[in-house]
Amino acid sequence: MDSQVEQTPHEKHVFPPSPEFRDAAVAGPDLYAAASTDRVGFWADQARELLHWHTPFSRTLDWTNPPVAKWFDDGELNVAYNCLDRHVESGNGERIALYWEGEPGDSRAITYAELTADVKRAANVLTELGVEAGDRVAIYLPMIPEAIVAMLAVARLGAAHSVVFGGFSADSLRARIDDAGAKLVITADGGWRKGKVSALKPAVDAALEPRGDLPAQDTVTNVLVVRRGENEVGWVEGRDIWWHDAMAAAEPEHQPLAFPAENPLFILYTSGTTGKPKGILHTSGGYLTQVAFTHRNVFDLRPESDVYWCTADVGWVTGHSYVAYGPLANGATQVLYEGTPDTPHSGRWWEIIEKYRVTILYTAPTAIRSFMKLGRQIPERFDLSSLRLLGSVGEPINPEAWLWYRHVIGADRTPIVDTWWQTETGAIMISALPGVTEAKPGSAQVPLPGISVDVVDDAGTSVGQGDGLLVVTEPWPSMLRGIWGDEERFRETYWSTFGDRYFAGDGARIDEDGDIWLLGRVDDVMNVSGHRLSTAEIESALVAHHFTAEAAVVGASDDTTGQAVVAFVIIKESQKADAEATDVAAELRSHVAKQIGAIARPRDIYVVAELPKTRSGKIMRRLLRDLAEGREIGDTTTLADTQVMRIIGDKVVR
């Protein structure tokens, strides 16, 4: 059996769906046929079939003002009603919406009726605090049910949430609160991570208080605090309110209003090529249509019998689309887990799958690779026989990891869907359809029905077969509607390269079967454990330290995390004596973690005397990547100082 995993993976190694899976599959080849006959009409059908419209739409797509699309724009809906009340009204109120598992082992099973009741109360709490349609609310919570309740309560009021991942620092949180002009912050005292409580409230306090040359943050009027960690917290009278007190005092009934399909639903910040994160704006009707469609068809979802588990945190887009909105819109039952995979033991995930009889698992290649390293004997101790479909997202999945996932976790039986998409695309764009498409390890394969993509050369011409840049050629329902407060950057980043085609920032290859292989980012964006990080943002954090004169950051390949952050820094002449008396690397690593968040902490820091630059002063990251990955240095002829790589190379010993 081992031989199958160890054999050299080959593109031609394909896995057709089993006849049983194919015959029962939710998706059929008819979806491709329908979408290719009438692409826009196909999405209109999906929107009508999958969602409840308070006011039906008569216009499907308005692309008269690119790059801002309008989908279903004269229709009205309430996103939270679609995710909650309608399931209760149709007799599924007793179905479990969330099987929540806390890291210390406490758990809660929450039905659709209970979740609906909580969201109604929370909507009333927010209304009392002055939140209205069009406002922004920042959410900074651990993976607890209240995170979902908070998101849906904001959506129910027609306001927009900005969820900030709990691992981000006070500075990162503040920048996001300021940029969105949030009125309210919803947080917790703390959450459980790696066997202890990790406090969250202090970061919120720091983000809102005056600090250094920053004045007190002034758009936020209240902070709602969920009690979870039971750790001591600071308290600002008049501003801070316990969630449980407010919920207990709130009215239980709440009528959802209908909002236009293009009403903003959320802003989610993601790293770009400059230091400042981009607030990606998503709206309601088109977004919910595509997340519901993809969640149902890509995961072969049977809401009445499946137990679905997506391991992403709600702080990332995967947690928005495939923990919050997709599964709930489809009335699915899902697992929500608070903690880390290795606490209290390295079989925790498999134990959860066994406990809840999880049928569909959606996770990231980096997790799979770290389980591979630990060895198959760990998952083999658990009963994983309930699994019938596996998904992957966030970065290319190497064929070895794909085969291990299928063999060890999927018992050589489950289809695997490798799903390509982005914060900006809102929902899955490229993926096999289980039961329809033959799976090919390592390739994300084909655009979904209703999605049009191409791979083009620098001039924008289709490569046909071969390597190039990935573009989306037609507007899609869940596409971003802009960058919050920065229309110019929106046009510049995605639409200035190839006109009305969306430039994704990824390299891609089309093979002889027409299948797409993703080759990684082509810009200065890194992908570390499936999370996007900007080289510029980490460089500016590094130069903010008093030791640093200059810094250059690259993403170097890493066996587990896909890429790892590697930094090259020049120490200021005036600081050299101090720096020599310190563990510079340790100091700068923790400085970056404090400024941005632990995920941005460089794996390696090299102190160097020079950085390789072109004559126009641009840092040649390509050469630094060669160094960081221990490769022969590439072409150095465009360097201003052709000796510099030799000098740096001498210093970099690993």
Binding site for CoA, by residue number, is 193-196, 318, 529
Farthest-apart Cα atoms in the chain, separation: 74
Residue 607 CB partners (closer than 8 Å, separation 6+):
569, 570, 571, 579, 584, 585, 651
Q: CA-CA distance, 41 to 71, in Å (whole number)?
A: 12
Residue bearing tokens 């519901």: 292
Binding segment for ligand WT7 (CB under 6 A), chosen from 151-159, 215-223, 235-243, 500-508, is 500-508
Site for ligand WT7 in 21-60 (CB under 6 A): none
Nearer to ligand WT7, 217 or 561 (CB): 561
Binding segment for ligand WT7 (CB under 6 A), chosen from 238-246, 393-401, 447-455, 641-649, is 393-401
Residue bearing tokens 């400059």: 274
Nearer to ligand WT7, 299 or 568 (CB): 299
571 touches 584 (CB < 8 A): yes
Binding residues for ATP: 394-396, 418-423, 506, 521, 532
**506 interacts with ligand WT7 by CB under 6 A:** yes
User: How many binding residues for ligand WT7 (CB under 6 A)?
Assistant: 23
**562 interacts with ligand WT7 by CB under 6 A:** no
Nearer to ligand WT7, 120 or 532 (CB): 532
Binding segment for ligand WT7 (CB under 6 A), chosen from 50-58, 242-250, 499-507, 623-631, is 499-507
261 touches 283 (CB < 8 A): yes
DSSP secondary structure letter of residue 552: E
**421 interacts with ligand WT7 by CB under 6 A:** yes
Q: Could you count the other beta carbons within 10 Å of the beta carbon of residue 497?
A: 16
Site for ligand WT7 in 396-415 (CB under 6 A): 396
Residue 573 CB partners (closer than 8 Å, separation 6+):
549
> What CA–CA distances, in Å, run from 361 to 160, 403, 427, 530?
29, 15, 17, 16
Tokens linked to 228: 């979870």
Q: Which of 422, 548, 561, 563 binds ligand WT7 (CB under 6 A)?
A: 422
DSSP secondary structure letter of residue 156: H
Three-state SS sequence of 282-310 = EECHHHHHHHHHHHHHHCCCCCCCCEEEE
> What CA–CA distances, in Å, run from 508 to 23, 102, 484, 615?
32, 39, 28, 31
Tell me phi and psi for residue 191, to 5 degrees.
-140, 165
**563 interacts with ligand WT7 by CB under 6 A:** no
Q: Which of 78, 187, 270, 334 binds ligand WT7 (CB under 6 A)?
A: 270
Which residues partner with 179 through β-bridges? none
Q: Name the minimum Å distance from CB 507 to ligand WT7.
A: 9
**363 interacts with ligand WT7 by CB under 6 A:** no
Q: Name the minimum Å distance from CB 612 to ligand WT7.
A: 25
**394 interacts with ligand WT7 by CB under 6 A:** yes
Q: CA-CA distance, 611 to 203, in Å (whole number)?
A: 35
Nearer to ligand WT7, 102 or 530 (CB): 530
Q: CA-CA distance, 217 to 311, in Å (whole number)?
A: 33
552 touches 621 (CB < 8 A): yes
Q: CA-CA distance, 513 to 465, in Å (whole number)?
A: 9
Tell me phi and psi for residue 276, to 5 degrees.
-90, 125
**366 interacts with ligand WT7 by CB under 6 A:** no
Tell me phi and psi for residue 151, to 5 degrees.
-60, -45
**313 interacts with ligand WT7 by CB under 6 A:** no
Binding segment for ligand WT7 (CB under 6 A), chosen from 205-213, 219-227, 501-509, 618-626, is 501-509
**505 interacts with ligand WT7 by CB under 6 A:** yes
**395 interacts with ligand WT7 by CB under 6 A:** yes
Binding segment for ligand WT7 (CB under 6 A), chosen from 159-167, 331-339, 490-498, 527-535, is 527-535
Q: Which of 187, 527, 535, 595 binds ligand WT7 (CB under 6 A)?
A: 527
Q: Name the minimum Å distance from CB 430 to ligand WT7.
A: 7
Q: CA torsion angle for 185, 191, 193, 195 (degrees, to 10)? A: 160
Q: Name the minimum Å distance from CB 318 to ligand WT7.
A: 5
Tokens linked to 233: 């917290």
Binding segment for ligand WT7 (CB under 6 A), chosen from 91-99, 394-402, 408-416, 612-620, is 394-402
Nearer to ligand WT7, 28 or 507 (CB): 507
Q: Burial letters for 127-136: b for 16+ Cβ neighbours within 10 Å, e otherwise?
A: bebebeeebb
**203-228-358 Cα angle (round to 5):** 115
Nearer to ligand WT7, 43 or 420 (CB): 420
**419 interacts with ligand WT7 by CB under 6 A:** yes
Q: Which of 116, 294, 318, 330 binds ligand WT7 (CB under 6 A)?
A: 318
Q: Name the minimum Å distance from CB 572 to ligand WT7.
A: 34
Q: Which of 532, 589, 601, 621 binds ligand WT7 (CB under 6 A)?
A: 532
Binding residues: 193-196, 318, 394-396, 418-423, 506, 521, 529, 532, 543, 545
Q: Which of 112, 168, 402, 420 binds ligand WT7 (CB under 6 A)?
A: 420
322 touches 310 (CB < 8 A): yes
Which positions lie near ligand WT7, rule CB under 6 A? 270, 317-318, 393-396, 418-423, 444, 504-506, 518, 521, 527, 530-532
